[in-house]
Structure 1
């Protein structure tokens, strides 16, 4: 159904456009405050929606334990690492690190739920990572890869190091000096949260769990902001508050509610692969509203990203069509349901 397909990609559209809305706000505020604002009010909105639609609240201690773990990993850790990493990492490079998490989700889903990935699935995931790399990595890196004679990749490489140690030094420098390790931890936290949401849905309505996990995960971030940050809101003007409101209501409440609803019902690998769309939407709307120009290699990245999503989501049909392996249904080992996106 076309409407169902639109709902499926809606979280990634909203996340991408929320990134555009937030771009001009960060210089006027502080990262942990923004992370808290994106979670706690959004969680309240989600719970109000659940109240009006008659969704049942958690009733058992086990349900609350799963929600608390969910909130700690997917909300507090993910948003905390993301906020801290953005202070020291370029937005494009950070987006690449975050949106590589479908690979972690695929591996975890294979090990825990037995989701079959197959040749076409792995090929699609690989193409997706390459595509978002073309979109988000600094131009100097891309040009350096295309023209190996150019040794300056913008990484601060030191000429006095022997060549055999150069790559090691670059990796260590990038991870610890540029904050990429924080982005990697954020991506892993998001991947683990996606997997945990499947277990949470066994004990409580997934939309209700989404609301509570944002509140429980956002409170520690507000506490960190109160302890470590100053001037969190004094410099925010009306347009900045509107941008924060968009990121909270659409980029968090609606986007997270839809994402974890779908995560509780179908293939985590297929759903997570759609995360590759987030930087695509961010780039396209940044070009439309902020006059940010896309380079030719970024357009190539957009195209490869769309190809990767097709391969991952149609991997069973392609395998059956080309007789490389029998088509498989993705079985939910937790709930016992067989559903595909």
Structure 2
């Protein structure tokens, strides 16, 4: 029986690890489909508020500790502001101005920020390959987010006649998604601190509930006609984004993040834009420019380098050691002759 259970776990373990990123990627496509019928802040609130209630219900059924100290509530509120309100709000506003796939690439550049923050706070080693990944990621994000005209004319050395309006830059949406990425990175870094005072699942649920309430308050203050144009199909898509793209994805991700290496786990998010780009192309017919595609691949390569930096370093060390010993042996053989 135990052997059978272990074999099933070995099979489902990679599926569980990948599931949050699949759900996040496809949820982006679902939300992009709904955004013409609703408003961004309302959609963001609908995505996370019910999801938080579902997670709290599951936590209660699992017998998770509901005890939260005053310091725990402060951490949860801070967590909700950064990872709930800011992260989801920037996503909603960004989807008004960019595609699901491209926006997902920008959001999931957050392992770059997580790596730097983890190096500073937790002394996690970045190393040569990690820094190379960070530099590659900066180039990739620039190719995605900066207007093609800026890049092409800059490469030609022509810096005259540029429209350097920051408002125009942020109107394309990619930079709003970058702010969402930084918000998620900040939330990921907070997890170990939050989990010192609150159960990981309970904290996840409450931060989604509180973040959703704040988004609803902003929506009712600044938006109109939030749900009047939503049909049955739109509500079904929002339900998918809520249940799978938030409740299940958040619950699994933050549980895993509370148990393992933050930088490596976060770097698995390179799968999210792969899913978002694939389904965005198939279902929404989203197209990217040549420079943006180059930026996508560079960003994915950078995240891979950060995620696999330790393995790459060990492999390169073994290879260098092998060639050194081989050369030494050849030298000794030559001397004997």
Category of TM-score, reference length = shorter chain? 0.7 to 0.9
Structure 2, unpaired ranges of 5+: 1-9, 319-337
Partner of 1:260: 254
Cross-structure match for 1:316: 310
Contact 1:125-1:312 at 8 Å conserved across structures: yes
Q: Number of aligned pairs?
A: 309
Distance in 2 (CA, whole Å) between partners of 1:171 and 1:116 is: 38
- Structure 2 length-normalised TM: 0.80
CA distance in 2, matches of 1:131, 1:73: 25
Contact 2:201 2:255 (8 Å CA) reproduced:
yes
Cα offset, 1:145, TM superposition: 4.0
In structure 2, the residue matched to 1:115 is 124
1:108-187 pair list within 5 angstroms: 108-128=117-137, 130=139, 141=148, 145=152, 163=160, 166=162, 169-170=163-164, 172-178=166-172, 182-187=176-181
- The match for 2:213 among 207, 219, 225 is 219
**Residue 33 (structure 1) shift:** 0.8
- Distance between the aligned counterparts of 2:108 and 2:233, measured in 1? 28
3-state SS of the aligned residue for 2:221? Answer: helix
Q: Deviations over 1:202-221 (max 9, x none)?
A: 11211111001000111011
Q: Which residue, 63, 66, 71 being the options, matches 2:75?
A: 66
Deviations, residues 240-261 of structure 1 (Å, cap 9, x unaligned): 1110000000001111111111
Matched, 1:3 2:12: yes
Specify which structure has the higher proportion of helix: 2
Displacement of 1:55 in angstroms is 1.2
Cα separation, partners in 2 of 1:147 and 1:221, compared to 1, 3 Å: closer
- Describe the SS at the equivalent of 2:96: helix
Instruction: Judge conservation of contact 1:77–1:189 (CA < 8 Å) in 2.
Output: yes
Q: Residues of 2 paired with 1:150 and 1:241: CA distance? A: 50
Consecutive unaligned residues of structure 1, counting only runs of 5 or more, are 152-161, 325-341
CA–CA distance in structure 2, aligned partners of residues 258 and 318 of structure 1: 27
Q: CA offsets per residue over residues 141-174 of structure 1, 9 Å max, x none?
A: 29964995698xxxxxxxxxx72x83xx436354
Are positions 1:189 and 2:196 aligned together? no
Give the structure 2 partner of residue 271 of structure 1: 265
**In the alignment, is residue 27 of structure 1 matched against residue 36 of structure 2?**
yes
Per-residue CA deviation, residues 254-299 of structure 1 (Å, 9 max, x unaligned), is 1111111122122211122222322211111223334556777777
- SS of alignment partner, residue 24 of structure 1: helix
Farther off after superposition, 301-310 or 282-291: 301-310
Shift of the 87–296 alpha-carbon distance from structure 1 to 2, 3 Å rule, reads closer
Partner of 1:12: 21
> Cα RMSD over matched residues?
3.1
8 Å CA contact 2:29, 2:100 repeated in 1: no
Q: Which moved more, 1:269-278 or 1:300-309?
A: 300-309
Indicate the residue corresponding to 1:231 in structure 2. 225
* Structure 1 CA distance for aligned equivalents of residues 201 and 95 of structure 2: 28
CA contact (8 A) 2:42 2:219 kept: yes
**SS of residue in 2 equivalent to 1:56:** coil
Contact 2:140 2:299 in 1 (8 A): yes
User: Cα distance, 1:74 vs. partner?
Assistant: 0.8
Q: Which residue of 2 aligns with 1:333?
A: none
Q: TM-score, normalised by structure 1?
A: 0.79
Larger CA deviation: 214-223 vs 307-316: 307-316
1:144–1:150 Cα contact (<8 Å) kept? no
